[in-house]
Amino acid sequence: MRTGARFADATTDLPALMDVDRARELLGMSCSAVYRAAAAGHLPTLRFGRRVYVPTARLLAMLGIDAEEER
């Protein structure tokens, strides 16, 4: 299985910003693990008020997945 195969179909329908729950589903992590990774700076996030979002392009780049190539 090639790297990023899990995201092959998912990357075509991802918004520019995803909520933490969507990122959690894609990464296969628990909610608390995602928030810990975000707090530690291991997961790129943007905060708008009390809401936390994950920039899709930065997440895919961090994982070594070229979103344009997957499309």
| Cβ atoms of 9 and 69 closer than 8 Å | no
Residue 34 is part of a domain; what is its CATH number? 1.10.10
pLDDT greater at residue 52 or residue 1: 52
Which tokens sit at 34? 């995602």
**Bridge partners, 19 (sequence order):** 53
Range of the domain at 49: 5-70
- Of 7-11, 17-21, 36-40, 56-60, give the lowest mean pLDDT range: 7-11
Amino acid 1: pLDDT: 43
| Cβ atoms of 47 and 54 closer than 8 Å | no
DSSP 42-55: SS--EEETTEEEEE
Flag whether pLDDT at 10 surpasses 80: no
- Residues 28-49 pLDDT 10s: 999 999 999 999 999 999 999 9
Predicted TM-score (pTM) of this structure:
0.73
